[in-house]
Chains A and B, each alone.
Chain A
Amino acid sequence: MRRVLLLVGAVACVAGAPARLAAVQADQATRSLQERLARVGADVLSGTDHMAEAIAELKAIIAIDPRLADAHLLLGVAYRSVGSPDLTGEATAELLQALALDPRSIPARYYLARLYIDVGRPKRAREELETALAQMPGQPQFLALLGEAERQLGNPARSLELNRQVLQGDESFAEARYYLGLAMYDLGRRDEAIQEFERVVRSGVQKPEVLLSLGTAYVQAGRLEAAIETLDTATTLAPSRADIRIELARAYRSKRLLAKAEEQLTLAEPNAAPALASTADQQIESDFYQELGLVKLQAHQLAAAAKAFRKVLDIDPNHGPANRALAEVYLLQGLYARALECAIRAEKAGFPLPDEKRKLIAERAGAKGKGRE
């Protein structure tokens, strides 16, 4: 928004009056472009429902002046808001270009860090945030996001420290509180995490991420009514988010409402695997089949359960919960050698079966081993 626009053709005039006229026209064009940018910027930053139109307008502005750093910044933010995996790379590219055009652009660096957090690249997020903090020491938004990057890098205690520091300065800062809750959850302090998430929601924040975290914590705590209500709200905010529906299915299954659980899983079912599925997509696929297997197991549909768990193991053969559940299925099916194999893998992954089941599988598998399965 600070840059001077030189429209194509406006520089072609010779000296004298035409030159002055050209300068006036260029100045008007610049102001007009700045006004357009300001308008669309307000839309993008307020999360307009008309993001496609905002993107089209930003592209039109960049077509006129490709060196407007703020236009690239806003386009990056707009792409990120759309949330489509197809556009995530483009969002990063636009923000990187904004930074290349204006290396001191703090907003570009901040949104770039957010994107890196979104796509599971916390190390790069940390690099950007540390650079931004060097420019603006103590900036609470950067500190909060840095805390989240640290948590994702396996340092929840550092996140706790940073976000507490931020909240001391402004205890109404919902994002910092949310990150604080996530850090507490990672540290095993589930009930405190729930309290923090609840405070965030009570403050008026209705974001799918927050509701998913709260709903997940409720499921863990056995507060299933609250979990279902929270996750149901989350699905209305983000109907296409498979991860939320999988968690809601889990809550229903925990309440033995299997039909409702299956209904949610039907809505969450992954499409045919894309050729280059991201790690996040694969995680969702794995979670989907794990939950489906558990629902089928509870419904005593053993073949369907085994099929679902095997899908999880296709993605990761050492998946502890899937191995443990599949061992149980095989035990029920009388396939003891296979059950033993899965039980051993589950134990190695830190998810052992209950003692009595382990013993039973070992005995039966031993007996069968002497004969044949």
Chain B
Amino acid sequence: MTGLRRLGALLLLLVPVWLSGEGSDAPSDGHVRFVDVTAKAKIDFVHASRKSPEKYMMETFGSGVAWIDYDNDGFVDLYFVNGAPGTSNALYHNNHDGTFTDVTKRAGVAGPAGYKTGVAVGDYDNDGFLDLYVTAYGPNALYRNNGDGTFTDVTATAGVAGGPREWSTSAGFFDFDHDGRLDLFVVNYLDYRLDENPYCGFRKEGYRMYCNPTSFDGTADRLFHNNGDGTFTDVSRQAGIANPAGKGLGVTFCDFDRDGNTDIYVANDTVRNFLYRNNGDGTFRDVAYGAGVGFDPNGKPQAGMGVDCADVDGDGFPDIFVTNFSEELNSLYRNRGDGTFEDISSKGDLRSSYLALGFGTKLFDVDNDGDLDIYVTNGHVIDNIKLYRPNLAYAQKDLLYENVGGTFRDISARGGAALQVERVGRGLAVADFDNDGSLDVVISSVGRPPVLLKNESTPKGNWILIRARGHKSNSFGLGATVRIETSEGRQVAEINNVASYLSSNDVRLHFGLGKATRIQRLEVMWPSGIRQVLTDVAVNQILVIDEEATK
């Protein structure tokens, strides 16, 4: 343990990071703009999918990406998951000057040997350093952060490898039982066997296609309870989340009913989605049917891929956004606050997603105007889809929706050149990598280099970035609920880095504040139950909040 936890008396630590000036290039049209800075950032990672004539489904699956400040220097670093067996994942250190350095070898986080898929970030041992969990087709891997720039593979000791032939996808750390330690939820996909890979598609040369998941059964997800001694116990069955019907790809955590317990939403591919309500006694109950978040409005299951939850309409309750297959709308479920949701997917411009096949996604305030916008990266799963459906494409453009009073306007065409590029988008993660107050985006692409998109939107509103330091709660405050009041209104959000597709976002919580120049009241409800209130807080800063010692 470091001395961080002994700083309990410290109410808050202010780390002001003053704006260093806006980007020099004014947006050509509109005010939201993302700029591809991958090359400038010296990120040379290339995802390898190793496509084979056998068309193994993993080859088109893509991989995740994570933001992780592994060395606690205040700047988020980047972790890329690779694909094919024999390839290495990559950890890039943020040099604080807009560039990154590949430190994978020293860090020892190359990933499992087989097909790698997703990544989760969390400090499972509460030592103040973020750890990494990497999912795969086959055993997953847990890397404990040693705090010195290196990691140790502790999978076997921890007991979180999962099944030897399980196809794990997204994963996330959260404290479901309020014991102050992060537990681990792992989403599993199909019961898929390489030696029983069927032929799908036309027999004509070049027409073989990746199979439809309906050709396979699902597999149950896993919930690992953190025992606090470096080991975990698989509690999936007793917790009630071991449903073999699932073909899970995405997961996110929110307290949907605001009862103080973190719930789980799982996006499943071609079967209904799950909403596991946390009963507060170590068990969950799948309430998707009653809540109305399992199907499309016609009662048809969709092909869920990525997912996020957050309050998009400002009513204080987290809503759910799910990316779906081409020729299905992405789903936006508005939380009515009474345990039920309304599907508002066809409202506003969200219908523009109809032909796109959505993967990674995030609800975040792109322009710091005080509400949450939507970013989606797209790409088909069938690389030869044009042979079958000339109106569809493997590589597709991203989608960006601006929140306009709770409905959404498609502003992709005005989002800058980076949004006009077609890619086979998969993982997507969001963080403010240069600490300038604007949230940036990193996207992984099948068989291609990733893209780092710097948010250069102007003019932008004021902001605050909150880094929570739990003491009784988990060390990064995951699961804490933060409410703020400004002259612009109220906002509520949870500290939750688990969303999107196979990916993990920054653990710091960002609020766009619009024109507000002070935060009149900032309240943190920690997972421990401790409520902490700050008043008259300055804007445009990274605010470190230590959990108070007592209620």
Q: A86-B300, A317-B204 are in contact. Are A93 and B272 (CB under 8 A)?
A: yes
Stretch at the interface among A176-184, A274-282, A354-362: A274-282
User: Which A residues form the contact surface with B (CB < 8 A)?
Assistant: 55-56, 59-60, 62-64, 66-67, 85-90, 92-94, 96-97, 99-100, 119, 121, 124, 272-273, 275-279, 282, 313-318
Q: Is B285 an interface residue (CB 8 A)?
A: yes
How far does the alpha carbon of A86 sit from the alpha carbon of B200 in the complex, in Å? 18
State in angstroms the CA–CA spacing of A278 and B392 once bound together: 18
Contact of B299 among A55, A63, A88 (CB under 8 A): A55
Contacts of B300 on A, CB cut-off 8 Å? 86-87
Cβ B242 vs Cβ A279 within 8 A: no
Alpha-carbon distance A277/B217, docked complex (angstroms): 18
Taking A88-B214, A92-B245, A314-B207 as known contacts, 13 extra A-B pairs with beta carbons closer than 8 A to each other, sorted by chain A number, are A59-B299, A60-B289, A89-B214, A93-B246, A96-B244, A121-B215, A124-B217, A275-B385, A275-B388, A275-B392, A276-B382, A277-B201, A313-B204
Say yes or no: is B271 at the interface (Cβ < 8 Å to chain A).
Answer: yes
Which residues of B172-223 are within 8 A (CB) of A?
Answer: 198, 200-205, 207, 209, 212-215, 217-218, 220
8 Å CB interface, B212-270 against A: 212-215, 217-218, 220, 240, 242-247, 270
C-alpha spacing A275/B214, complex, angstroms? 13
Q: Is the CB of B202 within 8 A of A282?
A: yes
Q: Flag if A315 contacts B202 (CB, 8 Å).
A: yes
| In contact, B217 and A316 (Cβ under 8 angstroms) | no
Is there an interface contact between B289 and A96, defined as CB atoms closer than 8 Å?
no
Answer whether residue B85 sits at the interface, using C-beta atoms and an 8 A cutoff.
Answer: no
Instruction: Provide the bound-state CA to CA distance between A149 and B217, in Å.
Output: 18
Q: Are A90 and B202 in contact (CB under 8 A)?
A: no
A282 cross-chain contacts in B, Cβ below 8 A? 201-202
The answer on a CB contact under 8 Å between A90 and B212 is no
Collect the chain A residues with CB atoms within 8 Å of residue B198's CB.
Answer: 279
**Does B389 belong to the interface (CB within 8 Å)?**
yes
User: Is the beta-carbon distance between A278 and B212 smaller than 8 angstroms?
Assistant: yes
- Which A-chain residue is minimally distant from B200 (CB atoms)? A279
Interface pairs A-B: 4 shortest CB-CB: A63-B290, A93-B245, A316-B203, A276-B212
- The smallest beta-carbon distance between A355 and chain B, in angstroms, is 28
Chain A residue numbers with a CB within 8 Å of B203 are 315-318
Indicate if the CB atoms of B289 and A90 lie closer than 8 Å. no
Bound Cα distance from A276 to B389, whole angstroms: 10
Chain B residue contacts of A96, Cβ below 8 A: 217-218, 243-245
Query: For the complex, what is the distance from the CA of A66 to the CA of B220, rounded to whole Å?
Result: 16
A63 (CB) vs chain B CBs: closest residue:
B290
The B428-466 residues at the A interface (CB cut-off 8 A) are none
The answer to whether B326 has its CB under 8 Å from any CB of chain A is: yes
The docked-state distance in angstroms from the alpha carbon of A99 to that of B243 is 10
Known pairs A66-B285, A279-B200, A314-B204; A97 contacts B245 (CB<8 A):
yes
- A100 and B242 contact, CB distance less than 8 A: yes
The answer to whether A317 and B301 touch (CB under 8 A), given A100-B244, A276-B382, A278-B214, is no
A275 proximity list for chain B (CB < 8 A): 326-327, 382, 385, 388-389, 392
When the two chains form their complex, are residues B243 and A92 in contact, meaning their CB atoms are under 8 A apart? Answer: no
**Complex CA distance for A99 and B382, rounded to whole angstroms:** 33
Residues 385-437 (chain B) with a chain A CB within 8 angstroms = 385, 388-389, 392
How far does the alpha carbon of A62 sit from the alpha carbon of B207 in the complex, in Å? 42
CB pair B244 A97 closer than 8 Å: yes
Chain A minimum-CB-distance residue to B291: A63
Cβ-defined contact, A314 with B243, below 8 A: no
Min CB gap A130→B, angstroms:
16
CB pairs A–B below 8 angstroms (8 shown): A66-B287, A87-B300, A93-B247, A94-B245, A100-B245, A275-B385, A276-B209, A278-B212
Please measure, in the bound complex, the distance between the C-alpha atom of A64 and the C-alpha atom of B242, giving whole angstroms: 19
> At the interface, yes or no: B313 with Cβ under 8 Å from chain A?
no
In the complex, are the beta carbons of A316 and B204 less than 8 A apart? yes
CB of A90 within 8 A of CB of B287, answer no
A55 to B298, CA, bound (A): 12
Q: Are B289 and A62 in contact (CB under 8 A)?
A: yes
Q: Which residues of B sit under 8 angstroms from A124, Cβ to Cβ?
A: 217
Given contacts A90-B301, A96-B218, A97-B245, contact A317 B388 (CB under 8 A): no
What is the number of residues of chain B that contact chain A, defined by CB distance less than 8 Å? 41
Minimum CB–CB distance for B257 against chain A, Å:
11
Q: Is the CB of B243 within 8 A of A273?
A: no
Give A259 to B243 CA distance when docked, in angstroms.
Answer: 53
Interface of B with A (CB < 8 Å)? Answer: 198, 200-205, 207, 209, 212-215, 217-218, 220, 240, 242-247, 270-272, 285-287, 289-290, 299-301, 326-327, 382, 385, 388-389, 392
In whole angstroms, how far apart are the Cα atoms of A58 and B285 in the complex? 17
Q: In the assembly, what is the distance between CA of A340 and CA of B384, in Å?
A: 31
B380 closest partner in A (C-beta)? A275
Give Cα distance in the complex from A276 to B216, angstroms.
14
- Can you name the residue of chain B whose Cβ is closest to the Cβ of A272? B389
Minimum CB–CB distance for A361 against chain B, Å = 23
Which B residues lie within 8 Å of A279 (CB)?
198, 200
Q: Within the assembled complex, what's the spacing in Å between the Cα atoms of A67 and B202?
A: 41
Q: Please measure, in the bound complex, the distance between the C-alpha atom of A166 and the C-alpha atom of B214, giving whole angstroms.
A: 32
Residue numbers in B under 8 Å from A89 (CB-CB): 213-214, 270-271, 301
How far in angstroms is the closest Cβ of chain A from B438? 37
Q: Nearest chain-B residue to A59 (Cβ)?
A: B289
Q: Which residues of A contact B389 (CB under 8 A)?
A: 272-273, 275
Contacts of B242 in A (CB 8 A): 100
Known: A275-B389, A278-B212. A66 touches B244 (CB 8 A): no
Pairwise interchain contact A90-B204, C-beta atoms closer than 8 A: no
Do the beta carbons of A64 and B290 come within 8 Å of each other?
A: yes
A278 to B218: give the CA distance in the assembly, Å.
Answer: 18
A99: chain B residues within 8 A (beta carbon): 244
Q: Return A315 CB to nearest CB of chain B, in Å.
A: 5
Chain B residues contacting A59 (CB-CB under 8 Å) are 289, 299
Residues of A within 8 A of B240 (CB): 67
Interface centre among B217, B218, B286 (most CB of A within 10 A): B217
Report which of B212, B243, B388 forms a contact with A97, defined as CB distance below 8 A.
Answer: B243
Minimum distance in angstroms from A132 CB to a CB of chain B: 17
State A352–B327 Cα separation when bound (angstroms). 43
The residue in chain A whose Cβ has the minimal distance to the Cβ of B244 is A96
Q: Chain A residues with Cβ under 8 A from B243's Cβ?
A: 96-97, 100
Contacts of B215 in A (CB 8 A): 119, 121, 278
- Least distance between B434 CB and chain A CB atoms (Å): 40
Which residue on chain A has the smallest CB distance to residue B213? A89
Alpha-carbon separation in the docked complex, A254 to B244 (Å): 49
CA distance A96 to B389 in the complex (A): 33
What CA separation (Å) do A99 and B213 show in the bound complex?
20
Instruction: From known contacts A86-B301, A275-B385, infer whether A63 and B327 are also in contact, taking CB-CB under 8 Å.
Output: no
> B204 to chain A: closest CB distance in Å?
5
How far apart are B530's CB and chain A's nearest CB, in angstroms?
A: 25
Chain A residue contacts of B270, Cβ below 8 A:
89
- Contact partners of A316 in chain B: CB under 8 A: 202-204
Which of chain A's residues have a CB closer than 8 A to the CB of B271?
A: 89-90, 93
How distant is B242 from chain A, measured CB to nearest CB, in Å?
7
From the candidates B212, B220, B272, B299, name the one contacting A100 in the complex (CB within 8 A).
B220
Also in contact, A90 and B392, with CB within 8 A (given A55-B299, A66-B286, A314-B204): no
CA distance A92 to B246 in the complex (A): 10
- Asked whether A63 lies within 8 Å of B245 as measured between CB atoms, the reply is no
Known contacts: A88-B214, A275-B385. The answer to whether A317 contacts B205 by CB under 8 A is yes
List, in ascending order, chain B residues with CB within 8 A of A273's CB: 388-389
**Minimal beta-carbon separation of A126 from chain B (angstroms):** 14
Assuming A63-B289, A97-B244, is B205 touching A92 (CB within 8 A)?
no
Please state if B301 and A315 are interface contacts (CB–CB under 8 Å): no
Which residues of the partner chain A approach B204 to less than 8 Å between Cβ atoms?
313-317
A313 contact set on B, CB distance < 8 A? 204
Query: What is the bound-complex CA distance between A344 and B300, given in angstroms?
Result: 47
Specify the chain A residue showing the minimal Cβ separation from B268. A93
Separation in Å of the A273 CB from the closest CB of chain B? Answer: 6
* Residue of A with least CB distance to B301: A90
Which residues of B have CB within 8 Å of A92? Answer: 217, 245
